[in-house]
Amino acid sequence: MTGTTVDLLVVGGGINGAGIARDAAGRGASVMLVEQDDLASATSSWSTKLIHGGLRYLEHYEFRLVREALIEREVLWGIAPHIIRPLRFVLPHHEGLRPAWLLRLGLFLYDHLGGRKRLWATRTLDLATNAAGKPLKTGYGKAFEYSDCRVDDSRLVVLNARDAADRGAIVRTRTRATAARREGGLWHVTIEDRLRGGTETVTARAVVNAAGPWVESFLTGAAQTTPPARVRLVQGSHIVVRKLYDHDRAYIFQNADNRIIFAIPYERDFTLIGTTDQDYAGDPGAVKASEAEIAYLCAAASEYFRDPVTPADVVWTYSGVRPLYDDGASAAQEATRDYVLHKDGGGAVPPLLSVFGGKITTYRRLAISALADLAADLPALRGKADWTAGAPLPGGDIDIDAPVSAGESLWRSHPFLDPAAAARLAAAYGTRAGRILAGARTMADLGRDFGGGLTEAEIAYLRREEWAVTAEDVLWRRSKLGLHLDAEQRAAVAAHIGG
């Protein structure tokens, strides 16, 4: 790769970096993306798994951000209906916290601010008669129910990277940008292969710093420059417990400390509860849920659910660091989730565009804004229209109104599959599930089944097409099968992969 020149080098394989790489490659620019670990291995795989407008951001008057996010819900649902699905949220009214009139006003704005077209509108529930009231403590008489979407966050990142590669981008995982300097009208970036060893030099007309929690360290380290803004690292932790209720809706609970948490149906057999918000000062790569956070989430959920949630019920935790733009907010939960782009250079000076903040829901709009900022400096981008709103992500070319039928169709064409396994494959890969099953007429043709329907054929596909290297990549990012496999099965996957 030494000697290769690209229009755009993207540093960081989270949702923002992958989204920018995809958009730029689709406009005809030559692109390389480098990620120091696995795709979505940091912030982008540790979210609450939602595509949402951010109802609580209305309290902080972030109307532009909420409107943009509300519009994006249906756009993203349209291009990735296999991994993004509508989800109804139940908000019980709690006397003494936010008054009912304020909730009604906020939900009215939520329904209309973003031009909702396909998602269902808000309605009022009688919790005494509605199934949503059954798992809750007595005393909650009324609730509001509204729409947002759920998403497989890490797969959203991988599919953006996959589409970028399909359009010509070079995607290099386990590759760190260690030095970057301007010379002769180009960036000269040294990249280190962390798997095989060795370094290379790539030249680029522009660099995007989408390193997430490491955005400042890239600037002060590799680029040897002063950060133009500060990142506020905010830790968000989640817990997963066995399924707490039987219906398919999520809950949003108000807490006495003015924060909110979600309880979301997860992976068929579980309930996901989160998130926390607290400032973080350590290594972003070493973050984990603390005992205090686990206790907080259990206590907050137990304020509402009839059956208490205790730390002993927790089967899995995860924690991530959100790299928020530091707007000086006094509390972590009040810090803006909006994004800020800062460009250094331009014209005769090759530009460096750094991404501060952002959220998964608005990643596509962030990419459009980033490329608009770079268009004057990259001839390959000039005059190229936005295109990502109408182009399905890999596997997303299915009927948005009948995503379940994709699983049924896959099962009918491959009747040797267990129906649940066919549904999982269709939900993860959409129309590309056929690539995993190509030529197979029996389960034996797919090789060893490690449990949960995970076969050698699927692992081979993930390694070949989706940059999976380790068992963790397969079990916790490309899928969440780690929740469904026992320790012995997970060890067998690791032994098979060799990592």
Whole-angstrom Cα distance, residue 447 to residue 445? 5
Q: Are 204 and 377 in contact (CB under 8 A)?
A: no
pLDDT at position 23 is: 98
pTM value is 0.96
pLDDT at position 333 is: 74
Whether pLDDT at 69 is above 60: yes
Look up residue 219 and give its two tokens. 């600037």
- Return the bridge partners of 43, or none: none
pLDDT tens-digit series, residues 429-448: 999 999 999 999 999 999 99
Residue, of 26 and 96, whose pLDDT is higher:
26
C-alpha closest to that of 180 among 199, 203, 198, 196: 203
Whether pLDDT at 485 is above 60: yes
Beta-carbon contacts of 221 under 8 Å, excluding residues fewer than 6 positions away, are: none
Residue position matching structure tokens 């973050």: 287
Whether pLDDT at 341 is above 90: yes
CA distance between the termini of the chain: 26
Whether pLDDT at 121 is above 80: yes
pLDDT at position 328 is: 79
3-state secondary structure of 222: helix
Q: pLDDT band for position 263 (50/70/90)?
A: very high
Q: In which region does residue 390 sit, left (phi positive, over 0), alpha (psi from -120 to 50) or beta (all else)?
A: alpha
pLDDT at position 335 is: 74
275 preceded by a cis bond (ω within 30 of 0): yes
> What is the average per-residue pLDDT within 57-69?
89
Whether pLDDT at 410 is above 80: yes
CA angle 272, 275, 276 (to 5 degrees): 145
pLDDT tens-digit series, residues 178-194: 999 999 999 999 999 99
Q: Are 209 and 12 in contact (CB under 8 A)?
A: yes
Per the prediction, the chain carries an average pLDDT of 94
Q: Are 237 and 296 in contact (CB under 8 A)?
A: no
Beta strands in 152-213 (DSSP E): 170-172, 175-183, 186-193, 199-209
pLDDT at position 155 is: 98
Residue position matching structure tokens 């990277």: 161
Whether pLDDT at 499 is above 90: no
pLDDT tens-digit series, residues 236-247: 999 999 999 999
Whether pLDDT at 258 is above 90: no
Q: What values do phi and psi take at 283, rounded to 5? A: -70, 120
Count CB neighbours of 242 within 10 A.
10
pLDDT at position 2 is: 57
- Tell me the torsion sign for CA atoms 443, 447, 451, 452: negative
Q: pLDDT band for position 327 (50/70/90)?
A: confident
Percent of the chain with pLDDT over 70: 99
Whole-angstrom Cα distance, residue 58 to residue 56? 5
Q: pLDDT band for position 330 (50/70/90)?
A: low
Residue position matching structure tokens 């795989």: 45
Residue type for position 441: R
Whole-angstrom Cα distance, residue 115 to residue 470? 42
> What is the average per-residue pLDDT within 2-22?
94
Whole-angstrom Cα distance, residue 428 to residue 94? 37
Percent of the chain with pLDDT over 90: 87
C-alpha closest to that of 369 among 383, 379, 380, 355: 355
pLDDT at position 296 is: 98
pLDDT tens-digit series, residues 218-237: 999 999 999 988 899 999 99
Whether pLDDT at 332 is above 90: no
Could you write out the DSSP letters of every residue in 245-309?
-SSS-EEEEE-TTS-EEEEEEETTTEEEEE---EE--S-GGG----HHHHHHHHHHHHTTBSS--
